[in-house]
Amino acid sequence: MAEISDVYFIDGMRTPFGRAGEKGMYWNTRADDLVVKAIRGVIERNPGVPLDRIDDVAIAATTQEGDQGLTLGRTAAILAGLPQSVPGFAIDRMCAGAMTSVTTMAGSIGIGMYDLALAGGVEHMGRHPLGGDADPNPRFLTEKLVSPDALNMGITAERLHDRFPALTKERADRFGMLSQHKAQAAYDAGKLQPDLVPVAVKSADGAWGLATEDEGRRPETTMAGLAQLKTPFRPHGRVTAGTSSPLTDGATISLLAGAQAVKELGLTPKMRMVSFGFAGVQPEVMGIGPIPSTEKALAKAGLSIDDIGLFELNEAFAVQVLSLLDHFGIADDDPRVNAWGGAIAVGHPLAASGVRLMIQLAAQFAERPDVRYGLTAMCVGLGQGGSVIWENPHYTGKKKNPKK
């Protein structure tokens, strides 16, 4: 008889994230090969996991075509050398694709159907721009179900500035600048590199190299520099390239397990899933999506926002994160929030990003036995939000020594 089980995040790895487009390091690299590299990285780092015991592989992509199509979870599993008995599938919830891969696999583990699963996502935005080949139903416009520009994420970010006057351009600029500085500080301290899988890349002239770091970082960012940037989504607007995540290529993967597999295989979990929630909002202001999804996840867990000791919030746009912080009464520079920087600095390869948040949270949990709960949350195109609450297995109940 299958039994209800806790769900554990055993490990997670990702490729370095690259700038999308011809000048980016992955221009000559296939999307499915990025997924394969991430899968191989996690497998090699967890040699105690029997590959034939993996019950499923869920891989998300927002634009499921070309080298991101063809039931990506199954094709990536075969290409990564998993036994042919391991099935796989593809999933899509736009920016929350990898997050949904994780929660979907967690549901199967939680009800005892699965013991082990791989869940992640990929986006090669250089090859496959968001909505590039999509054909939205004309009813969306003729029946005024959504605004014509609801799929323009930059305009939805401008609308948050409109709706909440307290969310000023200066606050967004400062948040964007600090994201760059925190990400560089994390790199300098060697925080991010352990979970990056090096990827062999070929340049336009045929020379081979190795991608080992996120390509889009701008640690030299200043407030004065940000003030000079154009506002591409609206004349005299407030959203700039400095307060937006760049177009990005990359892949992520996580290894999940149930309690029985953890015990039987002697695995060491990095996090335990507590709860999750997804919610819908007006597509025109999709950036507020994480607010109701976080409220759902907190309610399911019986927790309040004050119980959350670390936040990994996807920085699609600075204003989107600030709207959540204001809603919950959290300061812009609260040290619990995106301590190692976020997507404005390292990039946001749409469907891959949810697991990046989890990887960074898990690494911080290992350093912070004083923190019991953490939140990974993100806004999602077409008016959604996704949130997952995690528990730190290293938690001791002891307060952090301020002298350390």
**Catalytic residue IDs:** 95, 348, 379
Distance from CA of residue 178 to its chain's centroid?
19
- Rounded to 10 deg, the angle between the 97-110 and 353-367 helix axes is 70
**What are the tokens at 157?**
């970010």
Which residue is associated with the tokens 């309040």?
A: 304
Q: What is the CA radius of gyration of the chain?
A: 20
Angle, helices 72-79/31-45, rounded to nearest 10 degrees? 60
**SS (HEC) of the chain:** CCCCCCEEEEEEEECCCEECCCCCCCCCCCHHHHHHHHHHHHHHHCCCCCHHHCCEEEEECCCCCHHHCCCHHHHHHHHCCCCCCCCCEEECECECHHHHHHHHHHHHHHCCCCCEEEEEEEEECCCCCCCCCCCCCCHHHHCCCCCCCCCCHHHHHHHHHHHCCCCCHHHHHHHHHHHHHHHHHHHHCCCCHHHECCEEEECCCCCEEEECCCCCCCCCCCHHHHHCCCCCCCCCCCCCHHHECCCEEEEEEEEEEEHHHHHHHCCCCCEEEEEEEEEECCHHHHHHCHHHHHHHHHHHHCCCHHHEEEEEECCCEHHHHHHHHHHCCCCCCCCCECCCCCHHHHCCCHHHHHHHHHHHHHHHHHHCCCCCEEEEEEEECCCEEEEEEEECCCCCCCCCCCCC
